[in-house]
Chains A and B, each alone.
Chain A
Amino acid sequence: MKKMKQAFLFFAIFVSVCALFASAEAATIELNNIDDDGVGFNDPTPASPVGGNTGTTVGAQRLQVFERAAEIWENALDSNVTIVVQSTFQDRGFTPCTPTSGAIGAATSLQIFANTPGLHWPNTWHKVALANKLANADQAPGPPDSGFLAEPFADDIIAFFNPNVGTAACLTTRVWYYGLDHNEGASGIDLLAVVLHEIGHGLGFANDVTEASGASPLGLPDVYSSFTYDNVVDKAWNQMHNAERAASAVRFRKVVFAGPEVTAEAPNVLTLGDVDLFITAPSSLSGTILLFGTAAFGPPATQANFSGNVVLGVDGVVGAGSPPGTVNDGCEPLTNGGAISGNIALVERGFCAFTVKVKNAQNAGATGVLVQNNAGGAFGMAGVDPTITIPSLGISTADGNLIRSNSGVAVALQSFPNRMVGADDDGRVMIFTPNPVQGGSSGSHWDQKPQPNLLMEPAINADLTDNLDLTDELLFDTSWDGDLHCPVTSDDRATVFLANGCNSGVANDLGPFVVFPELNNKKIAGPVAGGCYLADTLKYCSPRTGGDYASCVSQVTTALLNSGAINGSEKGAIQDCLDE
């Protein structure tokens, strides 16, 4: 009998372990190749193996790149439900192009879901692949869709790639690179990096917010936005109404991703040691911070090599062109070398390559260069010139004008050795929120500041590798690892405290719960998920004071009572705290 019990116990544990293994399976990503015979992924044009890609036709090489990208993602994620990526390398009209610009790829999740089984965040949109994973069942079941965007939309992601790149009508000077080694060269476009990036979006590295208006489908937030946090107003995007979200979407470098997995991993990925650019003279401007972009050429600007007086560079030539150059664009040798020598040169953007400007300033004896934007904000500078030995930075039109309208301006870089490049003071990584908003890019990418470059920055940079850097951690935060995560900004104290410091004694249980943000001082009709602890539901009341705060707390506690999150005595305890 004892042996039978032991055997039964073993069997029970064996089954449970098997079940655990089943739930921990690596994801399977399948390509639903919907291209016609002889084109796209089925292009029979002979091709020589390149960069580890052993395919001998163009179509076979494209497939190998896709399979490699799928393999990388499969190793990073777990799911028992196959992720089907409907993909086409055929001209379907979704990759518009001109000789100088064009869509090289495009992607989206086919569907989004809320309130399906297994989701941790109520009334919150999730991409279909994530909804499938958490439900442990396909929410849009069926065999792969039979054709291009064919119903019933059983596939999960759709991805397009442009077959016309390199033709007379489309990005004439460029060519796809099908190697697996990210060695695309100057004119190549690294397909592997593009596919990794596109699949990342389809899996959930994207919100469902229209940044220009702050609106979202049915007024419901998405799980990505639950961690998108504004440092100015101290709120996550799912705790805001539309107008607040729209305002937040253009707070450049003030919005971060507050997921605990990303925040924990960031020190292993991002470079430590950030720098800010300050005006140090005249005294009336001293301490002013200038935003800047870095250059891809020359030595990195540091506290040690970038300080001094700023002198406007003069080349005296208005270059002929449309638009024409200026006498301060630095596109010709500088004529005021005596003033420039030993100082930082300021030149205007435009008319010629950044490397030409910086080289001319270097030849005139400058120790560094500020390139003033001709129409906009701080910007990064691309280019290659190994003979450049001085650092250079790109600053905004406004900041350039500020320097030019004052005499005796000096600037200096200051190091912040304990701050990661691309993160805030609390180690949270910046989300891309440029001003004005860039639909499609804003909100759904990392900022461009992080070093090294990240896969999900809005630009696909030349130094990307197979490394998913912080991308998978972000997906884990949105529940791709099967767990509920609370933003690092959550109030996770054991009991609920109010803004006046009173401890209500009410257990601060795990949520998330439902809150009712206000729009123009009126309650909106629909509930919005926010926070991860009971205390977070009271957080948005905090900016209010006195009676307004008490009224807000009363509204929220009533809503919590009605939803069953707290009982009457707990509501009473919180209310009593208001009077202390």
Chain B
Amino acid sequence: MRKKYFGKLWLLLLASVAVFLIAIPGMTDNAEDEKTTTAPETKSDSEVTGGVSGLKAATDEDGNLRPLTVQESQELDKQLKKTLGKFKKHGPKTNPDGAISLITAPHSVELTILTDGPEGDSVHCMSAEELAAAAAKTEKAEEE
């Protein structure tokens, strides 16, 4: 899509250069310079990297990563709850023109959790909601 976009851009740019040459004779060299200096940037971040088999973090259950232990989940949840409790949850705002906005932070925060273990470590994402659920689950299991 970016290539297509830049293609259109180039067509318009070349058209403008052509009109420029018609309107102001004798500007050929400068126009050529302009064409050179306005070349669209190439995308440097999409190099092909196929063929490399990389390290996969240790996972558990149907693709899940190593779950937190009882102590870990309870401690992390305790620390986070203490913080999140200080921030109110916002409701949606609707404008007369139909636009809707909702402040989702900080309760929508996703944590990047690192767990160390005998089989190695893993780094994965976890929502505050999931962390609380994990802690509650382990608390319930302990009670039983």
A complexed with B = yes
Query: Which A residues lie at the B interface, using CB under 8 A?
Result: 3, 6-7, 9-10, 13-14, 16-17, 20-21, 24, 26, 72, 75-76, 92-98, 100-117, 125, 139-140, 149, 153, 158, 160, 171, 173-174, 189, 194, 197-198, 201, 206, 208, 210, 212, 217-218, 220, 252-253, 261, 265, 268-272, 291, 293-294, 296, 300, 351-354, 373, 375-383, 394, 396, 432, 434-436, 438-441, 444-445, 447-448, 451-453, 458-463, 465-469, 472, 476, 481-483, 485
Contact A441 B124 (CB under 8 A): yes
A189 and B123 within 8 A (CB): yes
Q: Are B99 and A113 in contact (CB under 8 A)?
A: yes
Task: Determine the residue in chain A with the shortest Cβ distance to B123.
Answer: A460
- Across the interface, do A252 and B76 meet the contact criterion of CB distance under 8 Å? no
Most buried by B among A13, A98, A112, A460: A98
Partner of B49 from the list A93, A98, A269 (CB cut-off 8 Å) is: A269
Q: How far is the CB of B47 from chain A (nearest CB, A)?
A: 6
Question: Which residues of chain B are near A453, meaning CB under 8 Å?
Answer: 54-56
- Knowing A447-B63, A481-B1, the reply to whether A94 touches B105 (Cβ < 8 A) is no
Tell me if B72 is interfacial: C-beta within 8 Å of chain A. Answer: yes
Is there an interface contact between B49 and A452, defined as CB atoms closer than 8 Å?
yes
Q: A375 and B61: CB pair below 8 A?
A: yes
Q: Are B123 and A93 in contact (CB under 8 A)?
A: no
| B28 at the A interface (CB under 8 A) | no
A109 contacts B114, C-beta separation under 8 Å: no
User: For residue A197, which residues in chain B have a CB less than 8 angstroms away from its CB?
Assistant: 112
- Cβ of B50 to closest chain A Cβ, rounded Å: 5
The 21 listed contacts between A and B (C-beta, < 8 Å) are A3-B23, A6-B19, A9-B19, A10-B19, A16-B16, A92-B83, A96-B76, A98-B75, A104-B123, A106-B110, A109-B108, A115-B100, A149-B87, A210-B129, A218-B100, A293-B56, A375-B61, A434-B64, A444-B125, A448-B63, A463-B54
Query: Which B50-87 residues have C-beta < 8 A from chain A?
Result: 50-65, 68-69, 71-72, 75-80, 82-83, 87
Q: How far is the CB of A473 from chain B (nearest CB, A)?
A: 8
Given contacts A16-B16, A97-B79, 12 further A-B contacts (CB under 8 A): A26-B41, A101-B113, A101-B115, A104-B114, A108-B108, A109-B108, A253-B63, A269-B46, A382-B58, A434-B64, A445-B125, A460-B57
On chain A, the residues within 8 Å of B111 by CB distance are 94-96, 103, 105-106, 440
Given A17-B16, A101-B72, A459-B65, also A109-B129 (CB < 8 A): no
Q: Are A461 and B116 also in contact (CB < 8 A) when A16-B12, A26-B41, A72-B45 are?
A: no
B103 contact from A72, A153, A252, Cβ within 8 A: A153
Q: Are A100 and B104 neighbours in the complex by a CB distance under 8 Å? A: no
- Are A94 and B127 in touch, CB under 8 angstroms? no
Contact at A108–B104, with CB atoms within 8 Å? yes
A379 to B117 CA separation, bound complex (whole angstroms): 15
**What are the 7 closest A-B residue pairs judged by CB atoms, nearest first?**
A93-B83, A440-B127, A376-B61, A439-B130, A382-B120, A96-B79, A377-B62
Number of chain B interface residues as a range: 35 or more
Asked if B26 is at the interface (CB within 8 A of a chain A CB), the reply is no
A residues in contact with B77, CB < 8 Å: 96
Does the CB pair B125–A440 fall under 8 Å? yes
Please measure, in the bound complex, the distance between the C-alpha atom of A435 and the C-alpha atom of B61, giving whole angstroms.
7
In the complex, the chain B residue whose C-beta lies closest to that of A297 is B55
**Knowing A94-B83, A293-B56, A441-B124 touch, does A111 contact B102 (C-beta < 8 A)?**
yes
Of B15, B44, B71, B111, most buried by chain A (CB within 10 Å of CB) is B111
Which residue of chain A has its CB nearest to the CB of B112?
Answer: A105
Q: Measured between alpha carbons, how far is A382 from B13 in the docked complex, in Å?
A: 52
Q: With A and B bound together, what is the CA distance between A377 and B82 in angstroms?
A: 34
**Residues from chain A with Cβ under 8 Å of B122 in the complex:** 382, 459
| A110 CB → nearest B CB, Å | 4
Q: Are B44 and A75 in contact (CB under 8 A)?
A: yes
Q: Evaluate contact between A440 and B110: CB separation under 8 angstroms.
A: yes
Q: From residue 119 to 139 of chain B, which have CB atoms closer than 8 A to chain A?
A: 119-130, 133
Question: Closest approach, in angstroms, between the C-beta of B90 and any C-beta of chain A?
Answer: 9
A7 and B23 form a contact (CB under 8 A) = yes
Q: Are A194 and B83 in contact (CB under 8 A)?
A: no
Tell me the complex Cα distance, A448–B63, Å: 8
- Contact A293–B59 (Cβ < 8 Å): yes
How many angstroms between the C-alpha atoms of A271 and B133 in the bound complex? Answer: 37
Residue-wise interface mask of B (30-52) relative to A, using a CB-CB cutoff of 8 A (1 in contact, 0 not): 00000000000101111111111
Which chain B residue has the least Cβ–Cβ distance from A432?
B63
Known A110-B103, A111-B104: A458·B19 in contact at CB below 8 Å? no
Residue contact B119 to A114, C-beta cutoff 8 Å: no
**In the bound complex, how far is the Cα of B57 from the Cα of A112, in angstroms?**
32
Q: A75-B41, A94-B109, A435-B62 in contact; A10/B118 too (CB < 8 A)?
A: no
A9–B125 contact, CB under 8 A? no
The minimal Cβ–Cβ distance linking B92 to chain A, given in whole angstroms, is 6
> Is B141 on the interface with A (CB-CB < 8 A)?
no
Contact of B54 among A353, A447, A452 (CB under 8 A): A452
Select one of B52, B106, B114 contacting A94, CB under 8 A: B106
